[in-house]
Structure 1
Amino acid sequence: MIRSLFIFLVAFIPISHLSAPQTDIVDDLSTFFKAGDSKNIAKNFSTTIELVIGDEEDVYSKLQGEQILKDFFAKFPPTKSTISHKINTNPNYRFGVIILNTAKDVFRVSVTMKKINNSFLITELRIEQVKN
């Protein structure tokens, strides 16, 4: 009796509860920023991205955006990243704020993502120096 009840209950546990939880894209991006990994960050770019670094602002291709980030990390090697804020309740939109500590300065990184073809892609990335 107990064995058949156990088998019955196990048969109706949703498989999704047994799999590992999916990480949030903002968590992944924070890890990539800490590592200075422009390649993995750029994998999440939309075909074009609005990129703001300090006073420089423009719309770039995915490859141009990756190169600009690579140059940024060369100039400001990251030492730590912390997620300050994230919005992940909208099924078509994600937003995150990452505080990026570098060897020289601290930056506030704002990431805006939209769902495109069932994936969240970065449409806007802002990197602004934190004023003391």
Structure 2
Amino acid sequence: MIRPLLPALIVLTQICFPLALQGDIVDTLSGLFKSANSKEISKSFSSSVELKVNEEEDVYPKAQAEQIIREFFTKNPPSASAVVHLINTNPNYRFGVLALNTKNGKFRVAVTLKKTSGTFFITELRIEPDK
């Protein structure tokens, strides 16, 4: 009785397990924002990132984008971060919105990720004051 169920269970695990992990990159980023870990966040940057922090917006290389994020965290030390919106219906695209509480106020962080060579990379990051 158990033998016929084993292959079905294995197939189900292979299908469902990757789907369960799809939101993990945005959840992980939320934790990195809470801990103000610009170095780890930048590991998820693509080679160039469209970055908007408050009113400054441009496309930056990975290293410069990390510096800008580090400066933001220096001026606005985070106290909490939570995922408020997540789009993970496309296997090659993720979009998440984080609510970031800092010592100087609340911010809305929008993150766009695209999959390249099996890994998600941040292509766009927007940090704006929460309205």
**TM bucket normalised to smaller:** 0.7 to 0.9
- Aligned pairs for 1:1-132 within 5 A: 5-10=1-6, 12-14=8-10, 17=13, 21-22=20-21, 24-131=24-131
One-letter code aligned to 1:14: I
Structure 2: distance between partners of 1:51 and 1:70: 13
Question: What SS does the corresponding residue of 1:73 show, helix, strand or coil?
Answer: helix
One-letter code aligned to 1:42: S
Greater than 4 Å deviation, 4+ residue runs: 18-21
Structure 2: distance between partners of 1:91 and 1:27: 16
Identity %: 50
Give the structure with the higher percent helix.
Answer: 2
Q: TM-score, normalised by structure 1?
A: 0.86
| Count of residue correspondences | 127
Higher Cα radius of gyration: 1
Q: TM-score, normalised by structure 2?
A: 0.87
One-letter code aligned to 1:110: A
Which runs of 5 or more structure 1 residues have no equivalent in the other structure? none
Structure 2: distance between partners of 1:100 and 1:70: 15
Which runs of 5 or more structure 2 residues have no equivalent in the other structure? none
Structure 2: distance between partners of 1:117 and 1:54: 31
- Superposed CA deviations along residues 6-45 of structure 1, whole A, max 9, x for unmatched, are 3443355217739795352111111111111111111110
One-letter code aligned to 2:85: H
Q: How big is the shift at 1:92?
A: 1.6
Structure 2: distance between partners of 1:13 and 1:28: 28
